Structure 1
Amino acid sequence: MNHPIWHNIHPDFRFNGASYTNDELIALGKELVNTDEAYQVHIGQFLLDWLSDKSIVEVSTSGSTGTPKIIELRKEHMVNSALATGAYFQLEPRQKALLCLPLTGIAGKMMLIRAMVLGLHLDAVEPSSKPLQENKTYDFAAMVPLQVQNSIDQLSQIRKLIIGGAPVDTKLRYILRDSSVEAFETYGMTETITHIAVKKTNHKPSEYFETLSGVTIQTDDRGCLVIDAPKISDAEVVTNDLVEINGENQFKWLGRYDSIINSGGIKLFPEKIEEKLAPLIRERFFLAGLPDETLGQKLVLVVEGEPYNEQDLLQSIKSLPSISKYEVPKQVYFVKTFTETATQKINRTKTLERIT
């Protein structure tokens, strides 16, 4: 009897330094679900789920662009995604990888799957804002921008780093410029089983994402990205991401279709303006459009933390050479603590509801 493809654990796979047969991994899963550490419980639960005969995995979307929902992903597609990542980044068996993301989301799950499929030696640590331990080096790791920012002095411990979960802003790109790590920003979502495209963030950075093998892209009549990737999704994935396509396998991300602000007939892309403001504002922030009798929508800046001088901040923004007069916020709001999604992304909608 043939085993399901997801039961084919690579013989070189190591988890925290130890090798495991399938039965031993199941035993490890049962052991981990009874520990006191939540992150270990999640690893254990996923190991048991992955090594079952069930052909699908239920995963929750992040909720950063809408209400979180449970979707079903085929395990065969998840294996294909792992293989595509391995091919793109030229990952080899026995190379060392770091799992520092929670397994409650697709990104953490896929790091474990990549290790099992590709035969990586995986260290799993408790997810934190500064996950790297001293004297540990890795060939491959995945982090969210906050982890990268807090680990900047240790990034030489990683050879190749993928960054996802939120856009890499101008400030972080600048910080990464002189780091020895090869850093890549990823584009993807739960529906595409993490990334389907990546772009270099440092060492000859690119403004275009490049798709992985087996991914075809086009735009719909709104100018939004449509992804055809039969090895990881049975249907086309229609996004709300406005893009500019370059050739057959590259695109530039412009912003979210559903976050465009129409202010007095001028279309503003908040994400692109946020990139320009990132070097100026230390705190977390975002831009949004609020109803305005004259303009239809007015551009506002929402900053996390205690209030400080709004006029000084607006004057500094006006002084930026890259900012047009239409991109200067009409008003600044300060919110002590942003509302977040379950995966620690800023929930813009819920945060805005608190100031309107």
Structure 2
Amino acid sequence: MHALLLPPGPALLEAVRRALDGGPAVLPLSPDLPRPALDAALAALRPTHLVTPDGVRRLPGGVPSDAAVIIATSGSTGTPKGVELPAGALTASARASLRRIGARPGERWLCCLPTSHISGMQVLVRSLLSGTDPVIHPRFSPEEAAASGAEHVSLVPTQLRRMIDAGVDLGRFRTILLGGAAALPGLLDEARRAGARVVVTYGMSETAGGCVYDGLPLDGVEVKAGGDGRIRIRGPVLFTGYRLREERPFEDGWFVTSDLGVIEDGRLTVLGRADDVIITGGEKVVASAVARVLAEHPGVRDVAVVGRPDPEWGEVVVAVVAGEVTRDGLRAFAKERLPAYAAPKVVEVVPEIPLLPNGKPDLVALRNGSGAFPGNGGGSA
């Protein structure tokens, strides 16, 4: 199993091609990883070789893998966990995606997401199945993305927001797949008014990326919500397990996710994560539900909601907002639409929501408070 410490480009794409054809399994890692994080990933996932632009080096204590691709996923804390994906899962996902959006052979994809994450990796796989080379942008720029000439692109909501704010022509893309984090309704409305064809996806590394498009499962994928409210997924897109771990979150062939959802008329609505609950003064508050309400405020451009420890309340509801709001104004807005205990007691205004490399909000930074990122103001309390 080869750990790839390569920038996005032809060498990485060729390594993925070989892995899908039965060659050595690959573990793509970001070349920008700090040395301690790289050492932790190599120690936990134990690849047999390390591939860099300077060549291939055998690593001591490496363990082969029967998978094609291993995606390291650990959020912002904890020991890296390796999601083992067989070639069949990756290609089943990519083929179903191409069919669902009506992509034609020869159409090109823009890759402007990290290839060490499943969203970027699947852009490479879709490109290989389409018979094209992806357009690769190591760093995201709204203007460069719009001028890429690609027909299809995968974005996270923050990237889409920045494209809208830059005033670029979103209609240049035949499809924008949007995933990685919850998309606020106002963002989708703006994008579609700007001419974008946005398809909202739901999935994760364990499902080889997005496996539900606009609430409907891809071909061959089954989705249900159990009695505990957790979303369960079955189908050819699933991972086989976590590398070198006994943990297996399966029930009778169904992968049990950490997300809560409901299914109505065959369409899935994701409510949030099972650990997305803030308990404040004994009341339970679903952070993502509060964020959706706050996003309707005309002064809110982007928002994330978290709980922070508090000696009196246990936790307090904190809204971190990009936009122009005040604490009292946002609390009043929330109280008209939510129970009073769910209104944020703390409001912090930032230039941008801090993100992880995969485009998801950096919840650790958000929970740590105003010292974790610059630009706070507008009514912290």
What range describes the TM-score normalised by the shorter chain of this pair?
Answer: 0.7 to 0.9
Cα distance change of structure 1 residues 45 and 339 upon mapping to structure 2, 3 Å threshold: farther
Aligned to 2:256: 238
1:144-155 equivalence runs, <5 A: 144-152=156-164, 153-155=168-170
- Secondary structure of 1:232's counterpart equals coil
Query: Are the equivalent residues in 1 in contact too, given 2:109–2:151 (CA < 8 A)?
Result: yes
Aligned to 1:298: 316
Q: Does 1:316 align with 2:330?
A: yes
In structure 1, list runs of 5 or more residues that go unmatched. 1-29, 200-208
In structure 2, list runs of 5 or more residues that go unmatched. 25-66, 241-252, 372-381
CA distance in 1, matches of 2:192, 2:18: 41
Q: Specify the code of the residue in structure 2 equivalent to 1:171.
A: G
1:317-356 equivalence runs, <5 A: 317-319=331-333, 321-333=336-348, 340-353=355-368
Q: Specify the code of the residue in structure 2 equivalent to 1:151.
A: M
CA distance in 1, matches of 2:196, 2:12: 29
CA distance in 2, matches of 1:264, 1:148: 37
Q: Specify the code of the residue in structure 2 equivalent to 1:274.
A: A
1:173-224 CA-to-partner distances (Å, cap 9, x unmatched) read: 231131222101110000101001011xxxxxxxxx1111111122233211
Q: Specify the code of the residue in structure 2 equivalent to 1:182.
A: R
Q: Specify the code of the residue in structure 2 equivalent to 1:53.
A: G
1:273 to 273, 285, 290: 290
Cα distance change of structure 1 residues 134 and 245 upon mapping to structure 2, 3 Å threshold: closer
Aligned to 1:7: none
1:36-85 CA-to-partner distances (Å, cap 9, x unmatched) read: xx333654654554455235212112616976422211112111111111
Cα distance change of structure 1 residues 162 and 130 upon mapping to structure 2, 3 Å threshold: same
1:224-282 CA-to-partner distances (Å, cap 9, x unmatched) read: 101111353455321121111114x4211111111212334433211121122125455
CA distance in 2, matches of 1:39, 1:263: 44
- Could you tell which deviates more after superposition, 104-113 or 47-56? 47-56
1:94 to 106, 109, 122: 106
Query: Are the equivalent residues in 2 in contact too, given 1:197–1:211 (CA < 8 A)?
Result: yes
Q: Does 1:53 align with 2:23?
A: yes
CA distance in 2, matches of 1:101, 1:256: 23
Query: Are the equivalent residues in 2 in contact too, given 1:144–1:163 (CA < 8 A)?
Result: yes
CA distance in 1, matches of 2:354, 2:162: 21
Cα distance change of structure 1 residues 135 and 95 upon mapping to structure 2, 3 Å threshold: same
Cα distance change of structure 1 residues 93 and 214 upon mapping to structure 2, 3 Å threshold: same
Query: Are the equivalent residues in 1 in contact too, given 2:207–2:237 (CA < 8 A)?
Result: no
CA distance in 1, matches of 2:364, 2:317: 15
Q: Specify the code of the residue in structure 1 equivalent to 2:173.
A: I
State the TM-score, normalizing by the size of structure 1: 0.74
Q: Specify the code of the residue in structure 2 equivalent to 1:172.
A: L
Q: Specify the code of the residue in structure 1 equivalent to 2:200.
A: E
Q: Does 1:286 align with 2:304?
A: yes
Q: Specify the code of the residue in structure 2 equivalent to 1:218.
A: K
1:252 to 261, 269, 286: 269
Aligned to 2:226: 220
- Could you tell which deviates more after superposition, 78-87 or 233-242? 233-242
Cα distance change of structure 1 residues 291 and 98 upon mapping to structure 2, 3 Å threshold: closer
Deviation at 1:126, TM superposition (A): 2.8
Cα distance change of structure 1 residues 101 and 221 upon mapping to structure 2, 3 Å threshold: same
RMSD of aligned Cα (Å): 3.3
Give me the identity figure in percent. 26
Aligned to 2:36: none
CA distance in 2, matches of 1:316, 1:231: 42
Report the number of matched residues.
308
Query: Are the equivalent residues in 2 in contact too, given 1:46–1:103 (CA < 8 A)?
Result: no
Q: Specify the code of the residue in structure 2 equivalent to 1:319.
A: F
- Secondary structure of 2:272's counterpart equals strand
Cα distance change of structure 1 residues 75 and 254 upon mapping to structure 2, 3 Å threshold: same
CA distance in 2, matches of 1:156, 1:61: 33
CA distance in 2, matches of 1:89, 1:336: 34
CA distance in 2, matches of 1:222, 1:278: 28
Deviation at 1:294, TM superposition (A): 5.4
Q: Specify the code of the residue in structure 1 equivalent to 2:8.
A: Y
CA distance in 1, matches of 2:226, 2:83: 23
State the TM-score, normalizing by the size of structure 2: 0.70
